[in-house]
Structure 1
Amino acid sequence: MTQPVEIFAKNLNEWGKRKIPFVFLVDYLAQKPLAWRLEDVDPSYLRFNLNGFRNLGFGTEHQLPGNFSFNKFPIPFPEYQKRFDHVVKNLKAGNSFLVNLSAPTPVQTELSLSEIFENSEAPYRILYNNEFVCFSPEIFVRIHGNHISSFPMKGTIDASIPDAENMIRSDYKEAAEHATIVDLIRNDMSMVAEKVWVKRYRYIDRIKTNDKTLLQVSSEIAGMLADDFNGQFGDILLKLLPAGSITGAPKPSTLKIIREAEGYERGYYTGVMGYFDGETFESAVMIRFIENQNGSLVFKSGGGITALSQAQNEYQELIDKVYLPFNHAAHFMF
C-alpha cells in the first residue's frame, strides 16, 4: 500500500536513525512511495537484488526456456518526431538546457516478469507484485557514514561501432549533455551536503544486452553530509527527487516540458528504488523498466535531448535501450 509522502519520509528518517534495515520504491512524481522494514517484506509481492542486497524466499528460480523471442514495437518515427520537435522548440526558447524524453514501447515475449527478473544480470533488480520489473545499471545516490555520492549516466553508444569509445567521448552534443547533468547533480547535492566535488568525470561502463554490448558514459559526484545528519534518509531523498539524469535542467520548467511532450504516465519508471542495510544506504534510478498493463508488456525508455540533438539518432537510442540484460543471446529467436 502506498503511503503519503510525509509518512514515507518520516519512516525512512526513523528507521535510518535507529539503523533498521529497509527497502523502498518511489515513483517518478513521488506520489505513490512505498517503504518496508526488511523484516516485513513478503517475497510473494516484492523481490529484489540491489547490488547484492537481496531478500530470501525466491523459491525455485526459473531457467530460461531453450528458445524464446523478444520483439519490440516502438512508436512510429513521425509520432516521435512530433514529441521531439516540441522539446527542441522549448530548448531553443531557453526554457530548458536538457530534456529527457521517454516513450512506451510494447514488447512481446514468452517470458514472465519473474523469469526476466531472475535471469537479468543488471546490478539493481526489482520485481513488484507482477506489476513491473526493473533491471537498472544506474546508481542514484549511495550514503555511507557522512559520505554521499551520485553516479549519473548520460551517453550511450553501440560498442560494435568502429572506434565507438572515442566517438562518444569526442561527440560535442554528448559532451554538452553530460556536462549539463553533472552540473545539475552537483547543484542538487549541494542542497543536502556541505561539500561537493566531481570525483570521476565521463568514465565508460560496458553493458551487455541480449543482442549487443552498449558503452555507457557516467560520472561520479561526491559530497560530505553535516555531522548531525543522523540517518535522515527520507529528507535527503525527497530533496533530490526526481533524479536529474532522467528529467533535465532546470528541473521545474523541464518537468513541464516532459509532461507536455510525452503524453503518458511514467508511473514508477524513472523513479528510485533502494535499501538501507543498517550501515549503507544505496539507491538506483528505475530505468530499463517493463510494466504489465492488463497482461500486455510495455517497456519504457528514453534519452536526453539538447538543441544539438538529431531526431533519428535519439529515436534509435530509445529503441536500443529496449533490451533484456541476459548474456544468453543464443536462446533468442528474432
Structure 2
Amino acid sequence: MTITNKEDFRKRMNDMGSEGIPFLFVIDFEMKKPVIFPIREMTQHPILFDINGYRNYAYHPSKPLNVTLSKFPTPYEEYEKSFKRVRDHLAYGNSFLVNLTCKTKININKTLKDIFYNSQAKYKLLINEEYLIFSPEIFIKIQDGTIASYPMKGTIDAGLPNAEKIILDDKKELAEHVTIVDLIRNDLSRVANKVHVERFRYIDKIKTNEKELLQVSSEIKGNLPEDYPKRIGDILFSMLPAGSISGAPKQKTVEIIQESEYSERGYFTGVFGYFDGKDLDSGVMIRYIEKQGDDYYFRSGGGITVNSNPKTEYQEMIDKIYVPVN
C-alpha cells in the first residue's frame, strides 16, 4: 500500500503498531512515496526482502555467480561542481557535514534478481525488479524496549597496508564520525531515555566482487517507554532522514543536498524494515542499483566536511560501486 501523505503514513504505522500487526515498510528519502504492507499480504506483491535472515522467499543462490560490473562514473569535473557548492555551504557554516551522492551508469551481466539472491548483506530488498538494495547499514533496531542505531561512516580498501589503523587515525574521518554519532544521539534522545554510546568506531569487513572493504560504525542505545508500539510511526519519522546519509544540522543539510545533487534520490538512502508486532529491524537503503528502461544506475557517495579532498571523495564514491557477491 502506497500512502503519499506522510502524516497519514505515520498514523497508519501507529495504528498497526497499536494492534500488534506485523508489517514491512519502505520509506524513500524525500518521504513522497512510502509503502507499507501487512506481512500476511506480502505474497501478493512483487517485493522480495531479507532483513537479517528474515525473508519472504526460498533461499536458492547459484554460486559462483561470476558478476562482471563496468562503471561509467560522472566526469570528475561535474562531481567537482557539486563538491564546490557543498564546500561553500560548509565554509559559510550552514552545515558541518553533508552527504553528497552521485548517480553512476553501470553495465552488469546479471539480472537484479540474480544479484539479489546471491549477494551477501544484512538488508536486501528488490522492488518490482527495478530497485535493488544490498545494504550493510542498520538504521534502527528495537528489541524488548531498547532502541539502537548503528551509523556507518568511514570506508577504506581492506587490502591497503595498515588499512584499519589508517582509517581510525584519519582526523577527517574521526571528525565526520563524531558529528554523526552526536546527531544520532540527539535523534534518539527525542524518543528514548538513557541514551548512550555503547560502542564507538568499530570495524566491519565487507566482501565485494572486486575486493574487501573496511567500514567504520558506532552503536548508540536508549530505552523506550512501555507503550512505544502504538507510536512506532512517530519514532521512525522523528529520525528521518537517516543522519548518516544526510548530515548535520539535518534540516539545512537536506536543503543543501537538494540544491547540490542533480536529481531526487527516491528510494536511495531511504529506509526499510520489518515490525513483528513488538520488535523492529531496519536498514538504510545504501548500495543501490536502479533500472531505468534498459539502463542500470548505481548510486553512491560519502560525507563531505571542510577538510575533505574532492579527488579522494570522488574515488570513494567510485569504490562504493560494487555488488557483495563472492
* TM-score, normalisation: structure 2: 0.96
User: How far 1:13 moved relative to its partner?
Assistant: 1.4
SS in 1 for 2:68: strand
Q: Deviations over 1:146-188 (max 9, x none)?
A: 2100000000000111100000000000000000000000011
Q: 1:2 matched to which residue of 2?
A: 2
Distance in 1 between the 2:139 and 2:308 partners?
25
Unaligned runs of 5+ in 2: none
Could you tell me how far apart the structure 2 residues matched to 1:229 and 1:111 are? 42
Preserved contact between residue 43 and residue 55 of structure 1 (Cα < 8 Å): no
- Using a 3 Å threshold, how does the CA distance of structure 1 residues 64 and 265 change in structure 2: closer, same or farther? farther
Output the CA distance in 2 between the equivalents of 1:113 and 1:64: 15
Instruction: Measure, in 2, the Cα distance between the counterparts of 1:244 and 1:283.
Output: 14
Aligned residue for 2:83?
84
Give the Cα separation in 2 of the matches to 1:233 and 1:115: 34
CA distance in 2: counterparts of 1:67 and 1:255, whole angstroms: 38
Partner of 2:181 in structure 1?
182
Mark the CA change 1:169 to 1:43 in structure 2 (over 3 Å): closer, same or farther: farther
In structure 1, distance between residues paired with 2:98 and 2:161 = 28
SS of the counterpart of 2:301? strand
The Cα shift of 1:125 comes to 0.2
* Alpha-carbon distance change, 97 to 33 in structure 1, aligned in 2, over 3 angstroms: same
Name which of structure 1's ranges 111-120 and 11-20 shifts more when overlaid on structure 2: 11-20
Partner secondary structure for residue 33 of structure 2: coil
C-alpha distance in 2 between matches for 1:65 and 1:266: 32
Q: Which amino acid aligns with 1:296?
A: D
C-alpha change, 1:158 and 1:43, in structure 2 (3 Å) is farther
Match of 1:331 in 2: none
Q: Which runs of 4+ in 1 moved over 3 A?
A: 64-68
SS of residue in 2 equivalent to 1:41:
helix
**Identity, % of aligned positions:** 52
What residue is the counterpart of 2:25 in the other structure? 24
TM-superposed CA distance for 1:16, in Å, is: 1.7
1:129/1:38 Cα in 2 relative to 1: closer, same or farther (>3 Å)? same
Q: Render the CA deviation track for 1:236-271: whole Å, top value 9, x for unaligned.
A: 111110000000000111111111111111100000
Match in the other structure for 2:318: 319
Equivalent residue of 2:43, what SS? coil
SS at match of 2:106: strand
Which whole-Å CA distance do the structure 2 matches of 1:66 and 1:96 have between them?
Answer: 43
Contact 1:195–1:223 at 8 Å: present in 2 too? yes
SS of 2:263's partner is coil
Asked if the contact 2:192/2:222 (under 8 Å) is kept, the reply is yes
TM-score by length of 1: 0.94
1:25 aligned counterpart, secondary structure: strand
Residues of 2 paired with 1:199 and 1:106: CA distance?
39
CA contact (8 A) 2:67 2:209 kept: no
Equivalent AA in structure 1 for residue 111 of structure 2: S
Q: Hey, what does 2:42 align to over in structure 1?
A: 41
Q: Classify 1:325/1:11 alpha carbon distance in 2 versus 1 (closer, same or farther; 3 Å).
A: same
Q: 1:64 to 1:108 in 2, by over 3 A?
A: farther
- Per the alignment, residue 330 of structure 1 pairs with none
Q: Counterpart amino acid of 1:50?
A: I
In structure 1, the partner of 2:203 is: 204
Contact 1:64 1:115 in 2 (8 A): no
- Aligned partner of 2:92 in structure 1 is 93
Please give the alpha-carbon distance, in whole angstroms, between the structure 2 residues aligned to 1:195 and 1:218: 20
Aligned residues: 325
Q: Look up the match of 2:107.
A: 108
| Structure 1, unaligned runs of 5 or more | 328-334
5 Å-filtered alignment, 1:1-334, equals 1-3=1-3, 4-42=5-43, 45-56=46-57, 58=58, 61=60, 63=62, 67-327=66-326
- Asked whether the 8 Å contact 2:229–2:277 carries over to 1, the reply is no
8 Å contact from structure 2 (residues 119, 324) kept in 1:
yes
Aligned partners of 1:197, 1:66: CA distance in 2, in Å?
42
| Residues 199, 220 of structure 1: 8 Å contact kept | yes
Distance (whole Å) between structure 2 residues aligned to residue 119 and residue 83 of structure 1: 35
1:68, CA displacement in angstroms?
4.4
Q: 1:66 to 1:93 in 2, by over 3 A?
A: closer
